[in-house]
Amino acid sequence: MSASPSNFIRDIIVEDLKTGRYNRVHTRFPPEPNGYLHIGHAKAICLSFGLAAEFGGQTNLRFDDTNPSKEDLEYVQSIIEDVSWMGFDWEDRLFYASDYFDQLYEWAVQLIKAGKAYVDDLSADEIRQYRGTLTQPGKESPYRKRPVEENLQLFERMRAGEFPDGSRTLRAKIDMASPNLNMRDPVIYRILHAEHHRTGAKWCIYPMYDFAHGQSDSIEKITHSICTLEFEDHRPLYNWFVEQLGIFHPRQIEFDRLNLTYTLMSKRKLLALVEKGLVRGWDDPRMPTLAGIRRRGYTPQAIRNFVTAIGVSKTNGMIELAMLEHFIREDLNKRALRVMGVLHPLRVVIDNYPEGQAEEMNAINNPEDESAGSRKVPFSRVLYIEQDDFRENPPKQFYRLSPGREVRLRYGYFITCTGVVKNDAGEVVEVHCTYDPATRGGNAPDGRKVKSTIHWVSAAHALDAEVRLYENLFTTEDPNDVPEGQDFTANLNPNSLQVLTHCKLEPSLAHATAGSRYQFERLGYFSVDPDSKAGQPVFNRTVALKDTWQKIEKRSAASPLKTTS
RNA sequence: UGGGCGGUCGACUAAUGGUAGGUCAAGUGCCUUUGGAGCACUUUGUCUAGGUUCGAAUCCUAGCCGCCCAGCCA
Q: Which of A32, A220, A386, A521 is catalytic?
A: A32
- How would DSSP label each residue in A398-410? --SB-TT-EEEET
Catalytic, A422? Answer no
The Cα-based distances of A207 to A19, A171, A215, A243 in angstroms read 34, 11, 11, 18
Q: Which A residues 456-515 have CB within 7 Å of strand B?
A: none
Catalytic, A257? Answer yes
Average pLDDT (A318-329) is 98
Catalytic, A32? Answer yes
Q: How far is the CA of A456 from the C1' of B68 (A)?
A: 55
Q: Which of A28, A267, A304, A381 is catalytic?
A: A267
What's the whole-model pTM score? 0.96
Closest nucleotide relative to residue A31's CA, C1' based: B74
The tens digit of pLDDT for each residue in A438-482 reads 999 999 999 999 999 999 999 999 999 999 999 999 999 999 998
Residue from A477, A493, A26 nearest A217 by CA: A26
Residue from A118, A236, A134 nearest A188 by CA: A118
DSSP summary character for residue A51: H
Average pLDDT (A487-493) is 96
Q: Residue A565: pLDDT band by 50, 70, 90 thresholds?
A: very low
Residue A558: what pLDDT? Answer: 72
The tens digit of pLDDT for each residue in A345-391 reads 999 999 999 999 999 999 999 999 999 999 999 999 999 999 999 99
Long-range contacts of A273-282, Cβ-Cβ distance < 8 Å, separation of 24 or more: A273/A489, A276/A489, A278/A489, A278/A492, A279/A473, A282/A35, A282/A36, A282/A78
Residue from A287, A321, A325, A327 nearest A78 by CA: A287
